[in-house]
């Protein structure tokens, strides 16, 4: 299904009654409404970044709900799509933090390939209806993923931006990990502490201090 170590780690979860119900509810939603991301991309984050490779989790809330944007990676938009405001604010902080060029693409696949798991807490959404799938059961599944990552014996970083993501901090109990909490990078809150918080350099300092390779967060077309 996912073609990496997540398949075995999540095998029991896939067999639980709630997940089977979730699957049927999601299929029904996609049959009846326009939903995002495309159904074959719902698990893109897990396919792109294996459990073993995960060094950083950036947790989003739910996918973009406008046409053509969502691609199954939190905060990321498909190639050629205009960069949404929250992602533009993330890039503004990125440039300020690590002094790289301003990205001109919103596709974060390059981060995922380096071990940044770009996971939304809710993995699907109806067109133009944010949080419309919050009661389908996705968060039981993604909370389990967070708990499995918490069990990792290699230090990693959990990035929780916004009130919804920060509620997950109670799942992260392993003292070897680093948790970065802050306000959401949306235009409504970014000026209340997101700008100037330097999350990207903080991530890489932690990784290097634990003898792990840093993430190249700069995004160049063609990577």
Q: Is 62 a catalytic residue?
A: yes
Residue 93 CB partners (closer than 8 Å, separation 6+): 185, 190, 194, 195, 196, 197, 198, 199, 200
The Cα 201–Cα 55 span in angstroms is: 14
Residue 216, exposed/middle/buried by CB under 10 A (0-12, 13-18, 19+)? middle
Output the DSSP codes for 81-110.
SPPPHHHHHHHHHHHHHH-PPPPS----HH
Out of 7, 62, 143, 216, the active site residue is 62
| Distance between CA atoms of residues 59 and 147, nearest Å | 13
> Catalytic residue numbers?
62
């Amino acid at each position: 299904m996912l073609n990496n170590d997540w398949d075995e780690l999540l095998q029991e979860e896939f067999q639980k009654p709630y997940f089977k119900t979730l699957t049927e509810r999601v299929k029904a939603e996609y049959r009846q409404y326009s939903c995002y991301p495309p159904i074959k991309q719902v698990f893109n984050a897990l396919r792109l970044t294996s459990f073993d490779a995960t060094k950083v989790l950036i947790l989003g809330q739910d996918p973009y709900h406008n046409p053509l944007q969502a691609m199954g990676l939190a905060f990321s938009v498909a190639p050629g799509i205009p960069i949404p405001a929250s992602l533009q604010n993330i890039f503004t902080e990125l440039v300020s933090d690590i002094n790289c060029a301003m990205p001109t693409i919103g596709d974060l696949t390059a981060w995922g390939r380096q071990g940044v798991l770009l996971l939304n807490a809710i993995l699907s959404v109806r067109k133009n209806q944010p949080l419309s799938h919050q009661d389908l059961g996705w968060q039981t599944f993604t909370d389990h993923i967070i708990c499995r990552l918490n069990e990792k014996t290699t230090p990693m970083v959990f990035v929780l931006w916004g009130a919804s993501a920060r509620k997950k901090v109670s799942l992260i109990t392993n003292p070897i990990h680093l948790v970065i909490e802050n306000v959401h990078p949306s235009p409504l809150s970014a000026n209340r502490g997101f700008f100037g918080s330097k999350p990207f350099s903080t991530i890489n300092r932690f990784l290097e201090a634990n003898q792990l390779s840093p993430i190249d967060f700069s995004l160049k077309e063609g990577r």
